[in-house]
Structure 1
Amino acid sequence: MPKYIYAYHGGSAPETPEEGEKVMAQWMSWLGGMGEDALDMGNPAGPSKTVSAGGVADDGGSNPISGYSLVQAPDMDTAVEMAKGCPALSSGGTVEVAEAMEM
C-alpha cells in the first residue's frame, strides 16, 4: 500500500499546559484512530534552516514545516480524506499530503 507524508505547516501552539494536554489528546485520537495506517505518528518540528545552492537561510523558507507524520492509504484521495481530521486545521494550520515514492 502506498505511503504518504503529512507535512504540517502553521497553526498555533498551546498556551497552557492544560491546553497542551487537550491538543495532544486530539492528535493521539486522530492518529490512533488510523490504527495500522499510521506508520509513524511523527513529531513536531523545531526551528529550521533552508539549504540551497546559494547558501543557508535561517528562516525555514516561505512555509516552514511544523511537524510530520507518515501514513499508508490505498490512494492519494483517501490520504487526503484522512488528513481532513487533523487537529492542526482547527488552529489555522494546513496539512501538505505527498506520496512517499518507492525507489
Structure 2
Amino acid sequence: MPQFLFVYHGGHTPTDPAEVEATMAAWGAWFQGIGTALEIPGNPVGQSYTVSSGGVEDNGGANPASGFTVVKADSIEAATEMAKGCPMVVNGSGSVEVAEVHEIEM
C-alpha cells in the first residue's frame, strides 16, 4: 500500500495548559481514528531554512512547514480524506499538503 506524506503548514503552539491538553487530545483522537494507516506520527518542526542554488534563506519560505506525518492509503484521494480530519484543518489554523512517497530501488 502506498505511503503518503502529510506536511503541515500553519497552526500555533499552545501555551495555556488547558489549550495544550485540548490540542493533544484532538491530535490523539485524530491519530486513533487513522488507526493502522498511521505509519509515522511525526512531530512539529522548528524554524525551517530554504536551501537553493542561490544560497540559504532562514525565513522558511512562503509557506514554511510546521510538522509532518506519514500514512498509508489506497490512493491520494483516500489520503486527502484522512487529512481533512487534521485538527489544524478542522479548527482553521492551518493546512495539510499531501504527497505520495515514491519508492526508489537502489
Asked if Structure 1 and Structure 2 have the same fold, meaning a TM-score greater than 0.5 normalized by the shorter chain, the answer is yes
Q: CA deviation at 1:12?
A: 2.7
1:25 matched residue in structure 2: 25
Looking at structure 2, the residues matched to 34 and 87 of structure 1 have their Cα atoms a distance apart, in angstroms, of 13
Identity %: 50
2:50 matched residue in structure 1: 50
1:84 matched residue in structure 2: 84
Q: CA deviation at 1:15?
A: 3.5
1:16 matched residue in structure 2: 16
- Give structure 1 regions of 4+ aligned residues with deviation exceeding 4 angstroms: none
Q: CA deviation at 1:91?
A: 3.9
| Larger CA deviation: 7-16 vs 53-62 | 7-16
Q: Secondary structure at 1:23's aligned position in 2?
A: helix
Pairs aligned (count): 103
Q: CA deviation at 1:36?
A: 1.1
TM-superposition CA deviations, 1:57-102 (whole Å, max 9, x none): 0101110000000000000000000110000111420000000011
Looking at structure 1, the residues matched to 56 and 17 of structure 2 have their Cα atoms a distance apart, in angstroms, of 34
Stretches of structure 1 that go unaligned for 5 or more consecutive residues are none
Looking at structure 2, the residues matched to 4 and 31 of structure 1 have their Cα atoms a distance apart, in angstroms, of 15
2:96 matched residue in structure 1: 95
Aligned residue type for 1:31: F
Q: CA RMSD in A?
A: 0.9
Q: CA deviation at 1:32?
A: 1.6
TM-score (norm 2): 0.93
Q: Secondary structure at 1:33's aligned position in 2?
A: helix
Looking at structure 2, the residues matched to 74 and 8 of structure 1 have their Cα atoms a distance apart, in angstroms, of 21
